[in-house]
Amino acid sequence: MNVFEMKDKFDRKYYFLKLFLVTFISFLFIELSFKLITFKSLFGLELIRIILFSMGASLVVAFLCSFFKEKVSKIIISLSVFMLGFYTLLQLTFYNLLGNYMSLNASSGGGLTRVLSQVPEFIGAIKLEYLVVFIPFIALLIFFIMDKKIIKYEKPTSIRTCLFIVIIVLAKLLGVLSVNLDVLEEDNQIKSNKDLYRAPTLIQLSLKQFGTLKFFERDLMYMLFPTNDYDLGSNSPDKDDDIVVEPNYERVIDDTELESLAQNETNKKIKELHEYFLNQTVTPKNEYTGYFKDKNLVLVMVEAFDLIAINKDLTPTLYMMTKDGWYFDNYYTPKYSCTTGESEYIAETSIIPSSTVCTPNTYINNNYTTSIFNLFKNSGYYASSYHSWTDEFYSRTKIHKSMGSELYMDYNSLNMSKILGWPLDTEMFNNSYKYYADSDKFFTFYITSSTHFPYDTDTTVTRKHWDKVKDLDYPDKVKRYLAKAIELDESLKLLMDKLESDNKLDDTVIVLFGDHHPLNMEKKYLNDYSPIDRYEDFNMDRLPFFIYNSATESKKISKTASTFDILPTLANLFDLDYDPRYYVGVDVFSDEETVVIFTNGSWITDKGLYDSSTNTYKSLTDEAMTDEYIKRINKRVNDKFYVSDKILTLDYFKYRFPNK
């Protein structure tokens, strides 16, 4: 046998091995690229797991290819590598554009529709560095074309096939074993790897621990076979029976009905929730309870409301409202899967949205007895809501009705003008005012749109106000955003003028919060023109939030707060009939500890913060956070995720309030 025959025999004998190696090297390169771009590090305990998962997947691809000749094998491997690269690119771009990673469920539930409707913006969000994920695919094409005989087919024998299967099974078992080994799990991790593997609902953390390929697999399995088993334990992580409440501040809740429901419920999950709520602390009333009792409320969710929008010269109304109102300078807006729709949903329900679906679209027909609309309506208010766009992204026409809004009007019913770009906020406020202004008491909810991206092209709104910003020493993107903020400012001035003309201004409270920071805006710009360091901790999600009433003295509130706290805080200020146990957030003016909960499991309290992407804890006081404190907050956060998920998937309030 000459040397060429020996080489030919070697190539054929190790056909499977070569298939495996080219696939494994390609997969691992993509995984490491994602890890480096996303988490700025190649190393960590999770790297062992990612290598094992990449090996397992590569072995499966190689095994499949071993039954085909060279040409088909090359196509299968190339497609596999391309698809993983493409999926990884989607994840990176989705995060860059919308601030979150995507789940198959969330994409099919509305996220994909939004991306497809904004293809130019999505393409514009692709960074050059993201394209490195296609290097293995390009390298393979060149490799296969230049050396067509690099791999040579030989039909595997039965023994060899059995050996391949054994190797694959062992590799898969090693991967699963790595999930269950405590030694490969970081201390005080918010959710165990075993729980993440079973239910990858904390998407960013799952991507970090498992890599993109395994996350895709587990995400798909969770979509097909959803499970979210969790031990609530004592069901009372925050209950403190030693709290002494002054008699005039005691909030009395009659639990007779709930106790009866819990005793007679046969569904274990529903019963579990009944018992959980029974064991939660009822937040007492306080000196701010009823502070705005019987006043009107206009609650405004501002599209892309950022700190840079508040400018003494350009947006004087906003500036005045923040200076003369109650300004919360430590307020955060956590971004969830469907950014705008779920920020709105949080404010309306104080429930953690599901990370696996677009919550307001999926749970559109749930019972929302505890929503902010129903609370105000039950207290004698006329509850209505208005938005200047259609149901293209979120089915507000249906869900606002489900939540108790007595009138919802949108782009069509408000007869909004068709213009270039997003509609005028001034027109929405002007056209809607007459529908609620004559009510004895009104709760009005607005969702604005003028400040929506894009900021790299001209629109009717930017042209309308361009003369006011064109000479500023700002990048054009920032100038366009500020031009849109001027439109928002003028709409608020218009509203206040109308209220004052009708002698209702002093009796009306106006509250503003944002759905997220300006997406598709360079973070450097947000940092350069903000009064705080936006790169520090979670400050990119630190946004304006204020409560304004012309007859109330100004106040600055520095207690940590978030979108989850809006509903219970307003319910207390207006002295509505509500049970604080049903909300993730708390009344900011109470003595209860507030916890900002992010979609990846990160959190912030007044005492400290936790970043799940790096598994690091940071004290915000002179005292270090103890392990006991960290475990308590982690438990509380995990409980809230689980309970919120069950409220949604079981439609819990249908069982809790069967007659409503």
Q: What DSSP state is assigned to residue 202?
A: S
Other C-beta atoms lying within 10 Å of the C-beta of residue 401: 18
| Residue 244 structure tokens | 């002494």
Instruction: Give me the pLDDT at residue 427, please.
Output: 98
Q: Are 171 and 55 in contact (CB under 8 A)?
A: yes
Instruction: Give me the pLDDT at residue 543, please.
Output: 98
d(CA 478, CA 483): 9
Instruction: Give me the pLDDT at residue 471, please.
Output: 96
Instruction: Give me the pLDDT at residue 97, please.
Output: 83
Q: Are 420 and 413 in contact (CB under 8 A)?
A: no
- Any idea of the CA torsion for 37, 40, 44, 47, to the nearest 10 degrees? 10
Secondary structure of 348-412 in the HEC alphabet?
HHCCCCCCCCCHHHHCCCCCCCCCHHHHHHHCCCEEEEEECCCCCCCCHHHHHHHHCCCEEECCC
Burial degree of 124 (CB within 10 A; 0-12, 13-18, 19+): middle
Q: What are phi and psi of 360, to 5 degrees?
A: -65, -25
Domain covering 289-656: architecture: 3-Layer(aba) Sandwich (3.40)
DSSP class per residue in 231-291? --TTS-TT--TT----GGG------HHHHHHHHH---HHHHHHHHHHHTS--PPP-TTTTT
- Rounded CA Rg of the chain: 28
CA 41, 44, 48, 54 torsion: positive or negative? negative
The amino acid at residue 58 is: S
**Domain residue spans in the chain?**
3-188, 289-656
Strand arrangement of the beta sheet that strand 596-597 belongs to: 596-597, 603-604, 608-611, 616-619
pLDDT digits over 339-364, tens only? 899 999 999 999 999 988 889 999 99
CA 555, 558, 563, 565 torsion: positive or negative? negative
Per-10-residue mean pLDDT of the chain, 660 residues long, equals: 41 67 94 94 89 92 82 89 96 87 66 62 87 95 72 65 82 87 84 90 92 93 80 57 65 95 95 96 95 98 98 98 98 93 97 90 96 98 98 95 98 97 97 97 98 94 97 97 98 98 98 95 96 96 98 97 98 98 97 96 97 92 92 95 96 92
Strand arrangement of the beta sheet that strand 442-447 belongs to: 407-409, 382-387, 442-447, 296-302, 508-514, 545-548, 326-328, 555-557
Instruction: Give me the pLDDT at residue 149, please.
Output: 58
363: nearest Cα among 105, 91, 102? 105
Q: Which residue has the tokens 């890890």?
A: 35
451: nearest Cα among 462, 436, 463? 462
